[in-house]
Amino acid sequence: MNLISVLKSLSNGSVLILDTSIKQEEYCTIDLSSENPELLTIAISNPVLCQTYIDQVLEKNKAKVAFGGYLEKRNLYTSSSRFSEGKERNIHLGMDFWCAAGTRVITPIAGKVHSFKNNDDSGNYGPTIILEHTVEMVSFYTLYGHLSLESLKGFYRGKEFSKGETLATLGTPDINVNYAPHLHFQIIQVIGEFKGDYPGVCNKNDLGFYKDNCPDPNLLFKL
């Protein structure tokens, strides 16, 4: 069995990753790609303006969570030099869940802590947790970025989490390095030497590698 098959087998169409009081019908999609005409006049890299747009999408859809972003080409990263030094990186490799700071993050799959870190440099994840999973003899990792500082308290490598257990809470813009509150969730097949961090945005020339190594999270969620 390969990772894609494992992810499909784990999903029953009701796997969620946020506070279980939020119903599945309160999730809606959001388009933050550079091709969205609604964003042409919005400085989307500004967290206040980004939040205003997210709020408009949520209100329009009567939702509490706006999600999406896998393999989106975005202008969201233009204000941070970390994405423009060397090869430009603007293709998003995870799935974002935009909602209120403080929202609980729920473990979608049983696993144990691989590593954790506060990536507090500009444009990064802020507090981050990576879990390790083994299902049907297939090992892989899940990354949770833009968390609260409190989420890292009491953490240690190897700490186990059951499916449905509270893993963390979402951070505020000052903690998650100037982004509107959201969860960045990413699946990683081979993590190499990375600890508490892994690229969440790539250059178009590297997309083939990262698309294979970081499959679509919606294989799991089916939202």
> How confident is the model over 205-218, as pLDDT tens digits?
999 999 999 999 99
**Containing structural domain, residue 215:** 3-221
How far is residue 19's CA from residue 22's CA, in Å, rounded to a whole number? 6
Report the domain count for the chain: 1
How far is residue 29's CA from residue 14's CA, in Å, rounded to a whole number? 16
- Report the SS3 class of residue 7: helix
How far is residue 117's CA from residue 199's CA, in Å, rounded to a whole number? 14
Which CATH number does the domain housing residue 100 bear?
Answer: 2.70.70.10
Instruction: Read off the pLDDT of each residue in 90-94 and give the average, rounded to a whole number.
Output: 94
Query: In this structure, what DSSP letter does residue 46 have?
Result: S
Contact 189/7 with Cβ under 8 angstroms?
A: no
> How confident is the model over 148-206, as pLDDT tens digits?
999 999 999 999 999 999 999 999 999 988 889 999 999 999 999 999 999 999 999 99
pLDDT class of 66 with cuts at 50, 70, 90: very high
